[in-house]
Amino acid sequence: MNSQAVRALYYFEMARWWRTLFQSIASPVISTSLYFIVFGSAIGSRMTEIDGVSYAAFIIPGLTMLSILSESISNASFGIYLPRFSGTIFEVLSAPLSYVEILAGYVGAAATKSVLLGIIILLTARLFVPYHIAHPVWMLAFLVLTSVTFSLFGFIIGLWADGFEKLQIVPMLIVTPLTFLGGSFYSIHMLPPLWQKITLLNPVVYLVSGFRWSFYESADVNVGVSLAMTFLFLVICIGTVGWMFRTGYRLKN
């Protein structure tokens, strides 16, 4: 592997993020803080514990996952779309780089940004509510795996989109609603039996549930199933990106 070229792409993408660091960090952190104030303080004070965890602490994994999903998709999609839009993508494609190396540079940078943001959000949550992490290693594993998976998904969107408007369609109309309906603010066991079964069709349920288990050892679905579903989505994204590179979809025209 051409590690020097991968580092060059990686550092270039990270440098672009550092130039807009304030807005990249401030916006999700402020939004998350508002969620804690509204849901954690105002609503949480009127609710009982969920699975033995206070409501304010219960929503921390869900809020973190909400930010990670949106930021992973946004960073990766813009990262590959902007070179396509400006035409500089042909310089990358003509360089002695394999598709794996190109993917490692772009997706690696996007995933790194999401992981750093997730850690910042967890630190911010400490200002509002005390919480504990029962399995720190598993928490970090779910954080990294989710960041990589949805950065790949964002990369696919960046290749598919032929305009800036399309970059926002999937995150706003599909991913964000699925996240809100995926148990970020509640346990799916609180739903009627029929809706519990319907909710299991939502892939975000498995991400949020597995991530929450690493905090409180409490999950809506088995943690092994959550991990398997995340890996399945990762494999699907890798296969899709591989097909796009092999066929030159939206890259060579």
% of the chain exceeding 70 in pLDDT? 96
Asked if residues 121 and 28 have their Cβ atoms less than 8 Å apart, the reply is yes
Give the confidence band of 241 by pLDDT, cuts at 50, 70, 90: very high
Q: Cα–Cα distance between 180 and 247 in angstroms, integer?
A: 35
Closest by Cα among 3, 61, 71, 63 to 33: 63
Among left, alpha and beta (phi > 0; psi -120 to 50; other), residue 94 is: alpha
| Angle, alpha carbons 172-228-235 (nearest 5°) | 65
| φ and ψ at residue 53, rounded to 5 degrees | -120, 135
Q: Is the pTM of this model over 0.85?
A: yes
Per-residue model confidence as pLDDT tens digits over 120-176: 999 988 888 888 899 999 999 999 999 999 999 999 999 998 888 888 888 888 888
Radius of gyration over alpha carbons of the chain, in Å? 19
Q: Cα–Cα distance between 249 and 253 in angstroms, integer?
A: 8
| φ and ψ at residue 50, rounded to 5 degrees | -115, 115
Give the confidence band of 232 by pLDDT, cuts at 50, 70, 90: very high
The pLDDT of residue 249 is above 90: no
Q: How confident is the model at residue 225, as a pLDDT?
A: 92
Q: How confident is the model at residue 253, as a pLDDT?
A: 59
Question: Could you give the residue ranges of the DSSP H alpha helices within the chain?
Answer: 3-19, 21-35, 55-58, 60-86, 89-94, 99-125, 136-160, 164-170, 176-180, 193-199, 203-216, 223-247
CB count within 10 Å of CB 228 equals 13
Q: Cα–Cα distance between 34 and 41 in angstroms, integer?
A: 10
Distance (Å) of CA 210 to CA 39, 140, 148, 248: 21, 11, 16, 35
Q: How confident is the model at residue 174, as a pLDDT?
A: 86
Torsion of CA 156, 158, 164, 168, to 10 degrees: 40
Per-residue model confidence as pLDDT tens digits over 28-47: 788 877 877 777 666 666 67
3-state secondary structure of 185: coil
Q: Which residue has the higher pLDDT, 229 or 86?
A: 229
